Amino acid sequence: MRKKRKLSRGVALVGAGMSQFGMFRDRDSKDLFLEAFRAMTASVDKGLDPADIDAFYLGNYSNDFFVRQSHWGAILSDTLGLVPRPATRTEGACASSALAFREGVFAIASGFYDAVLVGGVEDMSKGATEVVAEGLGMAAIPYEREVGFTFPGVFGTIATAYFDKFGASREHLMNVTIKSHDNAARNPKAQLSATLEEVMAAKKKRAESKGRPVPDWPDPKAFLGDPKANPVVAWPIHLFDCCPISDGACCLLLVGEEMARNFTDDPLYVAGIGQASGRGLHASEDLTTFEATRYAAREAFDMAGIAADEVQFAEVHDCFSIAELLHIEDLGFFPAGQGYKAVEEGQTRLDGSKPINTSGGLKCKGHPVGATGAAQIFEVWTQLRGEAGERQVPGHPRLGAAQNLGGTGGTSTVTVLERR
């Protein structure tokens, strides 16, 4: 099975933009996608004539269900004035727009197109909570839903298995959450753009203004350990271990490698891509690893001709805090069972040896599911181009990766971008 994959034509990333992530009562998928498209267009250093775009790939998980409208490729193609250019939607649960990115890469590498718009969008906050819960549950493998699993339930089970096998505890999940908030506070487009200290201060102020007893939290771990402030969702998963419900969009522009410098003097190159399927929790012999992520990582790193060690920073799929621990191990950044220690030691912080989820991750940046894969790549773009401001990874990194998970491990993708 293990082949070294290659593309017959190199592909470059020359533009990237994302919308604000959040819950927006008054903005739909068209509004959000247009915001991301405009930001992407503005990011193309030497300018972009939309007429140069040959085709459009859109990642969307299930606006069908969330807002009762499908066929968003065609709709957004019209919104952007791209008609008659072809539009294709991809879906792989929460990995939907990582799949769109791959198809954009293939379409260019095939020689058929030269410039492809890739994007992702999801509009999750308009429906009732029950609609969102049912809509997300559909991404799990049927056997899991039939026995009553929800996503927090699945990841709670995984966390329990991880704790049992490796001796980790809930406190180690808190370390992930604290880091995510620290990073997101430096990301103006993040949905939860605040450190936990800021969250605590705001809650204290609010209690004070309402004349309620002001909570006494000496530090973030005390706050996260307070069952009123951070209630349990599915043990050991608590509220602050979970990503929020989000609306948002992201846009990327891919072109044939040989044309990249027509668009910018600082292009990024697609060094490696990997994707795999998994059977889901029900068929997993070891709940502390995602086989699909391991497989996708090997494929992507082999293609790039690198070892995991050489990846300088990464966005990984932290739908729940425990998922970040599994993925940094499955990606080979840390040995199995050592990820939680690496986080505890600060290795995954902005100033650590392997910064993880510098954007704030799904946990704090937000997780509009169909936009997430593209938005992870947007963060890698931002870091590699040195445009991440207060959250910039130091030392002019040259290699960054993004890992996107769909469902309970049914789909996983890894993308490696390189600045040459």
By CB under 8 A, residue 297 contacts its own copies: no
As beta bridge partners, residue 248 has 122
Residue 398 in contact with its own copies, rule: CB under 8 A: no
- Sites for its own copies among residues 120-149 (CB under 8 A): 134-135, 138-142, 145
CB of 60 to its own copies, least distance (A): 8
Of residues 156 and 406, the one with the C-beta less far from its own copies:
406
**Secondary structure element (H or E) that encloses residue 178, with its range:** helix 170-184
Q: Which of 20, 358, 411, 415 binds its own copies (CB under 8 A)?
A: 411
- Given the DSSP bridges, would you call strands 313-315 and 399-406 parallel, antiparallel or unpaired? parallel
Is the separation of the CB atoms in 79 and 28 below 8 Å?
Answer: no
Is 367 annotated in the active site?
A: yes
What is the nearest approach in angstroms of its own copies to the Cβ of residue 299?
Answer: 9
Output the smallest distance, CB 402 to its own copies, in A: 16
Between the alpha carbon of residue 226 and those of residues 113, 143, 156, 240, the distances in Å are 55, 34, 18, 11
Among 207, 222, 283, 307, binds its own copies (CB under 8 A): 283
Residue 105 binds to its own copies (criterion: CB under 8 A): yes
**β-strand partners of 242:** 320
- Kindly state whether residue 75 participates in binding its own copies, applying the rule CB under 8 A: yes
The 3-state DSSP class for residue 344 equals helix
Per annotation, catalytic residue among 172, 238, 317, 367? 367
Nearest to its own copies of 137, 188 (CB atom): 137
* Angle at alpha carbon of residue 19, lines to 18 and 24, rounded to 5°: 155
- For residue 257, state whether it binds its own copies (rule: CB under 8 A): no
Q: Tokens 């604000």 — which residue?
A: 20
Query: Closest Cα to residue 299, out of 5, 77, 61?
Result: 5
Is 319 annotated as catalytic? no
Confirm or reject binding of residue 92 to its own copies (CB under 8 A): yes
In this structure, how many other beta carbons lie within 10 angstroms of the beta carbon of residue 214? 12
Catalytic position from the list 94, 242, 251, 319: 94
102 binds its own copies (CB under 8 A): yes
Binds its own copies by CB under 8 A, chosen from 107, 154, 233, 399: 107
Least distance from C-beta 103 to its own copies, angstroms? 5
Residue 211 DSSP code: T
Q: How far is CA 156 from CA 137, 151, 173, 207, 229, in A?
A: 15, 8, 11, 31, 19
Just list the catalytic residues.
94, 367
